[in-house]
Structure 1
Amino acid sequence: MANHGFPLSYLLAFILILSPSFLCRGTDEERKVYIVYMGSLPDGEYSPLSHHRSILQEVTGDSAVEKFLVRSYQRSFNGFAANLTSRQSQELSNMNRVVSVFPSMTLQLQTTRRALRMKVLVQVPKKWKGVCRGGQNFTCNRKIIGARYYTSGPKHNSARDDVGHGTHTASIASGINVKGVSFYGMAQGTARGGVPSARIAAYKVCTADGCNSANVLAAFDDAIADGVDIITISVGLDYPVVFFKDTLAIGAFHAMAKGILTSNSASNDGPSRGSVSSVAPWLLTVAASSIDRQIIDKVVLGNNKTLMGNAVNSFTLNRSKFPLAYGKDISGKCSEREARVCDLGCIDSSRVKGKIVLCDVGDAYPEVYSAGATGSILKSDVDINVSEVVPFPSSALSPHDYDMVISYVNATPNPQAVILKSEIIKDADAPVVVSFSSRGPNAIAPDILKPDLSGPGLEILAAYSPVASPSDSFDDKRRVKYNVMSGTSMSCPHAAGVAAYVKTFHPDWSPSAIKSALMTTAGAMDAKKNSDAEFAYGSGHINPVKAVSPGLVYEAFKGDYIKMLCSMGYNEVNLKIISGDNSSCPKGFGKASVKDLNYPSMAAEVSSAKPFTVQFNRIVTNVGHANSIYKAQVVTRSEGSIKVVPEVLSFKSLKEKQSFVVIVTGKSLPAKSMFSASLVWSDGTHTVRSPIVIYTN
């Protein structure tokens, strides 16, 4: 987690490693930006921009199409973004060579100790084709070798990070070693990213309002052509969408076709079932889990009762106790209910000065801080156990403990309390998937298990933009070089860093081989400690050391994904446009299943209240020892039968492939339940584990 002396680009980091005739109808309608996706770039003589202008002129009836054209994607895939009416977008969607037309959406940031040392950086790799166009007050160096920005306006004319999110995520993936870092003395130690020797190309696609998907696609278009090796993008929607109306799925598909793996955050809408938005099988979808270091914040009441809460609070109060203020005592202009939740505009500064304010919600501290109170005690969501950086003494208590404080206030003539500075404790249960991390099953492709795996995403210390506030309060004037953040935004670059680490050892491996290595070597997690089990953590918790030598890998290439899309009923003509070749759906393939994609995990949705028999067909490639014999073992925590044919795989050479079949049978499952097991292939040295999930919805 490097301190570069200036902030990294905000949000989207790409890692480069050292590797060996119509009239103008509807002009009075409201216009908005639509993305027109046209698949792969055609071979031969073809001018994308000229074609984009031509068809845009056709639907608008206006020769001055530049006033409508927002962006032209022409380096790595084909398409454009334009200001259109809904009628014009429909006309475009009916044209030949147009795969899909959809509104440009706003994606959101997915945020609420590593140990790999590498040598110092030398020259920029010759394969790099990118540029440093970072704009105002931005300079590249041998670490940050490329920068672009896609935002516009007086405050958005630079790739500089003014929020902190991009600096933090890039630092996690590939920050260099820095000793003695902390957040005001907390979590002190040596900070380093997953691969400190990796280069960074930063592509700024976000503003404070979010991340425009037209900008995100433009960044993918450039990054693929620039020659990056790994993409990490910690943004997403709050819900899943079909693949070719999904900005991230589109960009990642073309990255995959060029040999680039994309790591994406699972999103922060857990623990709701089916909330994971990163669902394309060519994406590496990363859930967030805890680490063994936990940051807590204690509240001591006037009766000397001590309660443990959550906050990253760096402040020490200057006396032992302060008065507590609650409900009508903090507001003279709002209702009792509004006052108790500390609604915006309800807190009367004259009533809270010198006092600690109680709020019945867990995110009200910015309002309390702005009102000038001494501190705040908040009621945390029952499912949330996250310590956030606060701008003044504040602590979020569990509902049970918060209710104890309210009882104390109601029973005491002069209730008082003090909030202590945060401290670090050991979390023996880690790693556990955090409640905010989005869950499966996959709403778009139910027979693809998502998320794929979990990585550290809770209270992660990493580099931070020195121009951004460390908390969510705009009134917080502190500036730091390192900050503590939580979210799948943080787990995503952990996985990207491990992927880059694996690629340093295996520069010729495909994106799917790297992804398989990460998934099949992930540590098994305890379903008793993790609500939703595999729907929470996928294959398990990422293990960088074991991922380097997985033994066997499950590979899938562009043609395999096209066949999968055929089985989902995607239009064959559009699939040829997307693939850019003569790919076609095999005859009779309609009877095939998505579950037969050569994926490192196995999942299938079945009907409830009926017996089931499910068959998975898989192929593994030997990347371990040339002469090796792998034996199958099934580990299950559910009733049912699992048969593996054959039970032994014998390899005589590296890169040799062997196929096998897994047959799962069982009695009927109730609605919204799962049958869970694991298939483990082992040669005595390598352990290749794949989760098996049969479920009802």
Structure 2
Amino acid sequence: MYPFIAGAAAPNTSEGYTSDDSRFCGPGTLDETLVKGKIVFCDYTTYIEGPVEAGAVGVVVQSGRYKDYAFTYGLPLSNLNLNDGRNVLNYVNLTENPTATIFKTTVEDDQFAPFVVTFSSRGPNPATPDILKPDLTAPGVDILAAWSEAVPLTETEDDTRVVSYNIISGTSMSCPHATGAAAYVKSFHPTWSPAAIKSALMTTAFPMSSENNLEAEFAYGAGHINPAQAAQPGLVYDAGEIDYVKFLCGQGYTPKQLNLITESNFTCSEETNGTVWDLNYPSFTLSTSPGNSITRVFHRTVTNVGSPVSTYKAVVNAPPGLIIQVQPSVLSFKSLGQKLTFVVTVGAEIGNSMISGSLIWDDGVHQVRSPIVAYASLVE
């Protein structure tokens, strides 16, 4: 057990700091003579330098953050939610000689995993509400990877520890997983376009679920990447430069904006104006204002990359409030590379939340799954 002190009770007054400063434990705000050898309680901190330079032996933080992931710090540190933090702070303030200890971190299995961590951004897509974002999910929590020995373990000046491997969390950890999965798919299919590879990753992803129906696909997109399955997706939704030009023209982009994006002299016309619902994307999304009903028609084309002769049947999952019609409902292919077009009509009655279903093209071997999302948009 170590002596326990609140950061607010140990301001570095010689440097002009008050308890309003030291309660957050920022660099230079703590009085070393009061903090050294003790565990310090910080109301909220993104810093570890303050307690480290003041000689603390540990830190307890009340922040409400980091409830589903962890970081490595230069000192033993325990993150508490706001309720627990308030109780601990009361103990520190109301006890004559408060003491504390910080036990070694333990790891527990989470029955709800995999789920999307709190730090990951959510949809909907603010620029184009009728394209689902994110596209898919990849591992990004507590990832073990090589670490430069030129950088300290915690990237802080006071931390002199050097390691060859480290464990960190972030979307910057998820991105390399998705990139590696894309490279893996491309190693089997070197001529595939970026759109075809994205389609393979999205339509073979593990479906995920969420207790919060207000986020669902806005958290995980098509699901969790499944690289082994993505190498043989069966069908792909392919798209090229002209498809995206048509989409941008339909979105009202000017010739100058098009040139900045494409670095080509494209111009928009009636022939090149497309709609967002006809972009050959592996997901289907429609938005409307709260309380309205809506119907959208999506035109899609799939390319056969599975068995030369194959027949796919449409399997629709439509919960109450969502009507999904697919025409034709059977796609019969006679060769590899053959393209077939179909139309999906989606009708929805939307309150103030999201309704989601799916379309799966199934040939008995491949299940090519696309999420279908209808939601109430607050974007005008």
Contact map agreement 1:432 1:529 (CA 8 A) in 2: no
Relative to 1, partners in 2 of residues 1:341 and 1:425: Cα closer, same or farther, differing over 3 Å? same
Structure 2 residue 86 is the aligned partner of structure 1 residue 406 = no
Contact map agreement 1:636 1:678 (CA 8 A) in 2: yes
Contact map agreement 2:7 2:30 (CA 8 A) in 1: no
Q: What code does the residue aligned with 1:675 have?
A: I
Structure 2 residue 187 is the aligned partner of structure 1 residue 496 = no
Distance 2:43 2:265 in 1: 60
Q: Post-superposition shift, 1:340?
A: 2.1
SS at match of 1:423: coil
Partner of 2:114: 431
Contact map agreement 2:151 2:162 (CA 8 A) in 1: yes
Partner of 1:631: 313
Q: Percent identity?
A: 48
Q: Post-superposition shift, 1:559?
A: 0.6
Could you list the runs of 4 or more consecutive aligned residues of structure 1 that deviate by over 4 angstroms after TM superposition?
576-584
**After superposition, what is the alpha-carbon deviation per residue over 1:216-246, rounded to whole angstroms, capped at 9, x for unaligned?**
xxxxxxxxxxxxxxxxxxxxxxxxxxxxxxx
Q: Post-superposition shift, 1:384?
A: 4.5
Structure 2 residue 337 is the aligned partner of structure 1 residue 655 = yes
Contact map agreement 1:550 1:624 (CA 8 A) in 2: yes
Relative to 1, partners in 2 of residues 1:501 and 1:694: Cα closer, same or farther, differing over 3 Å? same
TM-score by length of 1: 0.51
Task: Please identify, of 650-659 and 363-372, the stretch whose mean Cα deviation from structure 2 is larger.
Answer: 363-372
Structure 2 residue 130 is the aligned partner of structure 1 residue 450 = no
Task: Please identify, of 457-466 and 324-333, the stretch whose mean Cα deviation from structure 2 is larger.
Answer: 324-333
Relative to 1, partners in 2 of residues 1:345 and 1:573: Cα closer, same or farther, differing over 3 Å? closer
Contact map agreement 1:362 1:396 (CA 8 A) in 2: no
1:220-231 matched pairs, under 5 angstroms: none
Distance 1:325 1:576 in 2: 61
Partner of 1:552: 235
From 287, 300, 313, the equivalent of 1:605 is 287
Q: What code does the residue aligned with 2:354 have?
A: M
From 170, 189, 198, the equivalent of 1:515 is 198
SS at match of 1:453: coil
Relative to 1, partners in 2 of residues 1:463 and 1:641: Cα closer, same or farther, differing over 3 Å? same
1:92-111 matched pairs, under 5 angstroms: none
SS at match of 1:612: strand
Structure 2 residue 373 is the aligned partner of structure 1 residue 690 = no
Distance 2:128 2:218 in 1: 14
SS at match of 2:22: helix
Distance 2:214 2:75 in 1: 33
Contact map agreement 2:26 2:49 (CA 8 A) in 1: no
Distance 2:319 2:94 in 1: 49
Relative to 1, partners in 2 of residues 1:383 and 1:606: Cα closer, same or farther, differing over 3 Å? farther
From 5, 15, 20, the equivalent of 1:337 is 20
Distance 1:578 1:478 in 2: 45
Distance 2:334 2:310 in 1: 7
Q: Post-superposition shift, 1:382?
A: 4.5
Relative to 1, partners in 2 of residues 1:460 and 1:577: Cα closer, same or farther, differing over 3 Å? closer
Distance 2:296 2:60 in 1: 52
Q: Post-superposition shift, 1:674?
A: 1.9
Distance 1:332 1:572 in 2: 59
**After superposition, what is the alpha-carbon deviation per residue over 1:129-150, rounded to whole angstroms, capped at 9, x for unaligned?**
xxxxxxxxxxxxxxxxxxxxxx
Partner of 1:680: 360
Structure 2 residue 182 is the aligned partner of structure 1 residue 460 = no
Q: What code does the residue aligned with 1:600 have?
A: P
Partner of 1:109: none
**After superposition, what is the alpha-carbon deviation per residue over 1:92-139, rounded to whole angstroms, capped at 9, x for unaligned?**
xxxxxxxxxxxxxxxxxxxxxxxxxxxxxxxxxxxxxxxxxxxxxxxx
Q: Post-superposition shift, 1:509?
A: 1.2
1:417-428 matched pairs, under 5 angstroms: 417-428=100-111
SS at match of 1:693: strand
Relative to 1, partners in 2 of residues 1:424 and 1:610: Cα closer, same or farther, differing over 3 Å? closer
Structure 2 residue 170 is the aligned partner of structure 1 residue 487 = yes
SS at match of 2:75: coil
Gaps of 5+ in 2: none
SS at match of 2:107: strand
TM-score by length of 2: 0.92
Q: Post-superposition shift, 1:433?
A: 0.6
Distance 2:37 2:265 in 1: 73
Distance 2:271 2:162 in 1: 62
Contact map agreement 2:10 2:30 (CA 8 A) in 1: yes
Q: Post-superposition shift, 1:602?
A: 1.2
